[in-house]
Amino acid sequence: MQYCYYESLVGQLLLTGRGCLETLNFPQGKTRREPEPGWIEDAAPFSKIMAQLDAYFEGSLRRFDLAPGLDFKVQGTSFQQKVWRELLNIPYGETISYGELAIRIGNPNAFRAVGMANGKNPISIIIPCHRVIGKDGSLTGFGGGVDVKKQLLFLEQKNG
């Protein structure tokens, strides 16, 4: 497993993967992670995504390039993959509810399952799960913590 740290506006992110990006981890919250023994610190596999993260945090990138050249791989169930694909359709600077996301994937009663899939997103920010909020507009759960979610939404609304 290779890893590197990326300094961002929301703190030091840990990027991990085997030759490509597999996870993006926040400095706090439930996705906080530390390198494990035997991991190799190597930023090379993550250079393209770090350039896009730079542009995102500068406010000039609205949508990440998920073409094969980005060098990423996410693993999940077919349901999770469906939810994550739909997250990519939420416009920069906008938010939707978990219920709306469930409707968009064709399963309006699955808002809890959608929330669970959202929480399992291994590359937050890139797949913008931070754009999903509670039905009442509250900033509910986020792997990096609600404060980070608030920062990301503010960044997008400011630059949108």
State the catalytic residues: 129
Distance of CA 72 to the CA centre of its chain: 12
